[in-house]
Structure 1
Amino acid sequence: MKEKFLRLERWTSGFSLYAACAMLLLAASLGMFQIITRFVLELPAEWTEVLIRFSLIWMVFLGIPTAFRQGAMVSVDVLYRWSPPRLRRLLDWVVCLAAIGLIAIIIWWGWDYAVRGKVQTMSGLESVSMFWAYLAMPVGGVFSLIGIIANLLDTQRLELETAV
């Protein structure tokens, strides 16, 4: 069961990281397009600003699961380094439960924002509902929950390995 869950987590974290990278690429491409249209062609495309903003929001919420999985999101390095192994496991559980609580709130209120935002439209893109922008919170939150639980089952502390 543990291996199946970790396999699912590898797939979901890989997918979310790939999607986060795609959102960064989209934001950078739209930024270049905006610079060309605004300063070279002198015909600004207002819709690019909105899409850049929302692609960066999606990028952050889709990148967070990887940080949780690698143990780099909620960091208590000093306490972890100074603690004996039994206390480290307790610390892992405390951090996990606190992170799950935070992500549960983000999922709950993110979904609420998305549902309420259905009637709003994006400025510059009047045909697109704000639902799609706000949906980043619950979607990223669900991927994050999987990463948090996977890190508890198979702890990784990659931020400690790269710290100087």
Structure 2
Amino acid sequence: MRGAILRFEHYATALATTGACAMLVIASALGMWQIVTRFIIERPAEWTEVLIRFSLIWMVFLGIPLAFRIGAMVSVDVLYRWSGQRLRRVLDTLVSLAALGLVLVIIVVGWDYARRGSVQSVIGLEDVSMFWAYLAMPVGGVFCVVAIVGHWLDPQRMELETAQ
């Protein structure tokens, strides 16, 4: 069972990370296009600024699960280094529970924002609902829950390994 959960978590976190990378590529490409249209063609594309903002929001919320998974998001480094194996497991559990609580709030509030924002249109893209921007919070939150559970089952402390 543990192995199946970790496999699912691996693929889910990889999917979220790929999505975050894709959003960074989109934001970069749109930024370049905005420079071309504004300074070379001299006819700025207003819609690019809004889409850059949306892609950066999605990038952040899809990138957070990787930070949780590798143990770089919420950590108690000093206590972790000073403690024994049993206390480390207790710290992992407490940090995971606190992170899950926060992420569950983000999912609930994010879904409420998305539902309420569905009646709003995006300035510059009047045919697009704000639902799609706000949806980043609950979607990223669901990926975070999977990553937090994966980190609790198989803790990785990559930030401790690279710290001096």
Question: When the two structures are superposed, what TM-score results if normalisation uses the length of structure 2?
Answer: 0.99
State how far apart, in whole Å, the 1-side matches of 2:116 and 2:40 are: 39
- State how 1:14-163 maps to structure 2 within 5 Å: 14-163=14-163
1:82-104 deviation line (CA, Å, top 9, x unaligned): 11111111000100000000000
State how far apart, in whole Å, the 1-side matches of 2:54 and 2:64 are: 16
Which amino acid in 2 is paired with 1:163? A
1:31-83 deviation line (CA, Å, top 9, x unaligned): 00000100111100000000000100000000000110111100211110011
Which amino acid in 1 is paired with 2:83? S
Unpaired segments of 5 or more residues in structure 1? Answer: none
Q: Equivalent pairs: percent with the same residue?
A: 66
State how far apart, in whole Å, the 2-side matches of 1:14 and 1:7 are: 11
State how far apart, in whole Å, the 2-side matches of 1:57 and 1:26 are: 12
* SS of equivalent residue, structure 2 residue 128: strand
* SS of equivalent residue, structure 2 residue 118: helix
* SS of equivalent residue, structure 1 residue 119: coil
Cα displacement (A) at 1:14: 0.3
1:79-133 deviation line (CA, Å, top 9, x unaligned): 1001111111100010000000000000000000000000001110000000000
Root-mean-square deviation (Å): 0.5
